[in-house]
Amino acid sequence: MALPLYLLALIHAFLVNAADENETSAGRRAGWVSQPDGRGTFDILWSCLFTIFLCTWVSLHLNVPSPHETYRHQFSRKARWMLQGIMAPEFVLAFATGQKVEATRSVEDFKPLALPGEGRPKWTIRHGFYANMGGFVLRPRESAAFPINSKQLLWLIKRGYVDYPKLSAKEVWDKSKADGFQKSLTCLQTGWFIIQILGRWIQRLPVTTLEITTLSFVLCTLVMFTQWANKPLDVESPTIVASSKSIAEILIEAGSVASQPYKQTPLDFIDNLSPSWLTEVQPHLRFRTGPTMRPLPRFTNDRFPVIGAGPDAVFLFLFTMAYCGLHFVAWDFDFPTPLERSLWRAASIAIAACAFIFWVCETYQDGHRLGRWERWAAKLSTSKDGRINTMEKQRRNRRFIPVWEVIIMTPVTIVYTIARTYIVIEAFLCQRSLPMRAFETVQWSQYLPHF
């Protein structure tokens, strides 16, 4: 551990010394700059840090916490996800998109059950979000209660184990703690930040690397708001779904498909909530795992999204590559030293390349998870139904995260982490020496209200 810290200190000392040697040029200002006639170092830092905080904190829509979970645990979890949003906002966006896709699928699945004549409210995307975030908790007879998602709830309703929830979309939304003031404040600040960047670009004033990095958070936040627009925020009290049957009776009646021991909840044979970083990946890495109770007392927030090949997947891919490409805007920026410019360029290329490799691997594996490749192969094949049944059985028994993907993604993840860490750190290090014109304000900016 001491060696990496020593190397970081050595590199930092080198960069600082190199910057001191370059300060003789007339076009730069080093150190802390006050703001008597223009914007200063504090103005840049405050605007960016305040915007980043709003983007990474307010935009998070986490799942329902465990019963009797303390506020400290909930705050700690949200803080960790905020850090995740800073280090890799595009991955948080991928989770949000995956949750939206799953909620949308549930609407189609529940359509045959939503019969107005029987007093059943229409199942909406809000219901889908609410179910998949742990909003419904099954309480079987003489068995421990546990959360169920939309697929598991649908299976139970079809077989008469539970009643259709008499919960309207409005009642679902009433459980949300959505703070209109916070979201309005975030939209105002991010809108003002975008106007500032556009104004500087129009008047050909320098934009700092910290502002470019902040702009990437802003764009991710705006898209996350749209993906999570129908997901209730900070729900604490789930809806209890009672059953007159015990879990043992349900499993026996389900037959051989429910004969295997469960890993997450007794209804794993319907949907095993895979894969999750906390419950499946971290145990293999010997890291501290997530909820240890079984059945799971809550749904983890890190279930890898199964998005499919629809418009949402195409949009997410294009936006992710655009987000990575945004760092190339600083390709010819005036960095304190040539070395820092070269490292920024290398890190930008690495982030874009790692994201592309990740998408290629996940698209291929996602096709197996959903059985897409098997269905395509069946359409091209002239064999009988037995061949199709064999392929379906192989798909069910296939590992959700195969060994080959782990081998490829491990170095990709390491490279991405190093590159992303450098981008975040360098965005702040560049503030020690900026071009003189970076401290000039847009001529009309001081007449607009902002935070």
Q: Are 436 and 29 in contact (CB under 8 A)?
A: yes
Question: pLDDT confidence of 150, banded at 50, 70, 90?
Answer: very high
pLDDT at 396 over 80: no
**CA–CA distance, 164 with 377 (Å, rounded to integer):** 37
Give residue-wise pLDDT tens across range 399-427: 556 777 778 888 998 999 999 999 999 99
Is pLDDT at 31 greater than 90 in this prediction?
Answer: no
**What pLDDT digit, counting tens, does each position of 316-369 carry?**
899 999 999 999 999 999 899 999 999 999 999 999 999 999 888 877 776 666
Q: What is the pLDDT of residue 187?
A: 86
Residue with the bigger pLDDT between 30 and 208: it is 208
Query: In angstroms, rounded to a whole number, what is the distance separating the alpha carbons of residues 164 and 355?
Result: 42
Provide mean pLDDT across the span 182-190: 85
Report the chain's terminal Cα–Cα distance, integer Å.
Answer: 41
Q: Pick the more confident residue, 362 or 27.
A: 362
Q: What are the pLDDT digits (tens) for 50-101? A: 999 998 898 899 999 998 888 899 999 999 999 988 988 988 998 999 899 9
Give the least confident one: 27-41, 72-86, 254-268, 273-287. Answer: 273-287
Residue 208: which pLDDT band, with cuts at 50, 70 and 90?
A: very high
Check residues 148 and 449 and name the one with the higher pLDDT: 148
Q: With bands split at pLDDT 50, 70 and 90, how would you rate the model's confidence at 278?
A: low
Query: Cα separation of 253 and 258, whole Å?
Result: 9
Contacts of 313 (CB under 8 A, 6+ apart): 307, 363
Q: Is the pLDDT of residue 276 over 80?
A: no
Sorted by sequence, the CB contacts under 8 Å of residue 200 that are 6+ apart come out as 206, 207, 442
pLDDT above 80: residue 447: no
Count Cα atoms within 13 angstroms, Cβ side, for 127.
23
- pLDDT at residue 50, rounded to an integer: 93
Distance, in Å, from the CA atom of 423 to the CA atom of 89, rounded to the nearest integer, reads: 13
- Answer yes or no: is pLDDT of 222 > 50: yes
Q: Average pLDDT of the chain?
A: 81
More confident residue, 286 or 331: 331
306-311: long-range contacts, CB 8 A cutoff, minimum separation 24:
306/98, 306/101, 306/102, 306/366, 306/369, 306/370, 307/94, 307/97, 307/98, 307/101, 307/366, 308/101, 308/366, 308/370, 308/372, 309/363, 309/366, 309/367, 309/372, 310/101
For residues 107 and 125, the answer to whether their CB atoms sit within 8 Å is yes
Residue in the structure block whose two tokens are 């095993």: 272
Write down the residue that tokens 């891919």 correspond to: 317
Question: pLDDT at residue 20 above 80?
Answer: no
User: What does DSSP say about strands 146-148 and 136-139: parallel, antiparallel, or unpaired?
Assistant: antiparallel
Write out pLDDT tens, residues 91-134: 899 899 989 999 999 999 999 887 766 778 899 999 999 999 99
